[in-house]
Amino acid sequence: MADVHLALVHYPVYNKKGEEVVSSITTLDVHDISRICRTYNVSNFFVVTPLKSQQELVDRMIQHWQTGYGSEYNPTRKQALLKTVVKRSLEDVIDDLEEKTGEKPKTVATGAKQSSQSVSFEILSKEVADPGNILLIFGTGWGLTKELSEKVDCILEPIKGKGEYNHLPVRAAIAIILDRLLSEK
């Protein structure tokens, strides 16, 4: 069984107009995704932003629920946030994992668009069943930039629901993808 890690990327991503931007941290995303990661036993959840003030915001939030008033008020949040850390870039995430595990993780980009290089859930599930380190990468805003998606080891096929509508919140996409890859069937 591989160790699965997750990165929520706030740069480089697209905005509504297709411009490359830094998106803002949504603290609710950090809470929700931490709880989802904890449920599926994800090894590390990296919140990626190059902005120092936003890094500090996430750090303060984690600290509040880890050691502050929040840790007594809601212990399940404390537990959820144990594996949540902030990094300033995806390169830093990969370096950190290489340092901890002795190998570069396999990088897997996600997104709403089908690509000619897309791998299926079935294939990725098989890789997850083998030992190794897999980093699932999710974009905020209007998704990961093309340039970033071209640098990863593979791209996971998009979630198909029923019909044409494909505008899932990133929180929901993460829940569905982790469930498909990691739940005990």
Q: Which residues bind its own copies (CB under 8 A)?
A: 28, 31-32, 35-36, 38-41, 76, 79-80, 159-163, 165-169, 171-176, 178-180, 182-184
Contact between 110 and 154 (Cβ < 8 Å): no
First to last CA, the chain: 14
If the CB atoms of residues 153 and 159 are measured against its own copies, the closer one turns out to be 159
SS3 call for 141: coil
> Cα–Cα–Cα angle for 162, 166, 168, nearest 5°?
105
Q: How far is the CB of 80 from its own copies (least distance, A)?
A: 7
Token readout for 90 is: 């995806």
Residue placing its CB nearer to its own copies in the complex, 29 or 48: 29
- The two three-digit tokens of residue 100, written as one number: 């901890």
The distance of closest approach from Cβ of residue 159 to its own copies in the complex, given in angstroms and rounded to an integer, is 7
Q: Name the pairing type of β-strands 106-109 and 20-21.
A: unpaired
* Comparison of 9 and 175: residue with beta carbon closer to its own copies: 175
* Shortest reach from residue 77's CB to its own copies, in Å: 8
User: Smallest gap, in angstroms, from Cβ of residue 128 to its own copies?
Assistant: 11
CB of 185 to its own copies, least distance (A): 10
For its own copies, the closer of residues 48 and 80 by Cβ is 80
Phi-psi region of 141 (alpha: psi -120 to 50; beta: other; left: phi over 0): left
Nearer to its own copies, 131 or 163 (CB): 163
Question: What's the CA gap between 116 and 155, in Å, rounded?
Answer: 9
